[in-house]
Amino acid sequence: MATESHKADSLGKYLLVYVCILAIAGLQFVVAYQPIDKSRMLVRMLSLAIVEAGLGVMFFMHLWQEKRGFLWFVAIIAVFVLAAMNYSWPDSFRMLVGAPFSK
């Protein structure tokens, strides 16, 4: 399983990714205290979380070093299903405004 690319990895690169992830996590805490509405806060926090997770998957989990076909396999399945799940939650606005059925 060990590949040449794994061996050639420098520790510095991983430390840089670690510092970046820590910094982005810190930014999330800063965003939590910004005077903005919850929907904008949600978008900002989720954007930061996606960047954080992307760095983790690509570098800590070495997905970047796998075959491109595998990278696409993981990305397409994950993005499609995660996007499809979001089909349901906007319906909660209907509950919030008290309308029993959509009009």
Partner 1 sequence: MSQAELTMGGHTSGMARPFAIPTKKLAMWLFIIADTMTFAACLVAYGFLRNGTANWPTPFKFSPTVVNAMVMTFVLISSSLTMLLGVRAAKAGDKSGAFRWTMITAAAGILFAALHLREWLGMIDEGVRLFQNPWGSGLFGAAFFSITGLHLLHVTSGVIALIIVGLRYKGGRYNADDIEILGLYWHFVDLVWMFVVPLVYLLNVAR
Closest approach of partner 1 to the CB of residue 76, in Å = 11
User: Which residue's structure tokens are 């900002």?
Assistant: 44
Closest approach of partner 1 to the CB of residue 93, in Å = 7
Binding residues vs partner 1 (CB under 8 A): 1-2, 6-7, 9, 11, 14-15, 18, 21-22, 25, 28-29, 31-33, 38, 41-42, 45-46, 48-49, 52-53, 56-57, 60-61, 66-67, 69-70, 73-74, 77-78, 81-82, 85-86, 88-89, 91-96
Please give the C-alpha separations between residue 42 and each of 28, 37, 47, 49, 103, in angstroms, as whole numbers. 10, 9, 8, 10, 27
Q: How big is the CA angle at 67 (ends 65 and 70), to the nearest 5 degrees?
A: 110
Closest approach of partner 1 to the CB of residue 53, in Å = 5
Assess contact for 16 and 6: CB atoms under 8 A.
no
